[in-house]
Amino acid sequence: MMRKEEGVVWYYRWAGVLTQMEEAVKQGWMVFQKCTCAGCSEPLEALEPNKFEPMMKCPVCHMVTDCRIVGANYLVMMPRVKPLVEFTEEKANASN
* pLDDT 10s digits, 38-66: 999 899 988 888 888 899 999 999 999 99
What confidence tens digit (pLDDT) does each residue in 17-30 have? 888 888 888 888 88
pTM, full prediction = 0.64
Residue 61 is predicted with a pLDDT of 96
* pLDDT, averaged across the chain: 77
Q: Which residues contact 64 (CB under 8 A, 6 or more apart)?
A: 55, 56, 57, 58
Domain spans in the chain, listed from the N-terminal domain onward:
3-94
d(CA 96, CA 81): 27
Nearest to 52 by CA among 79, 36, 73: 73
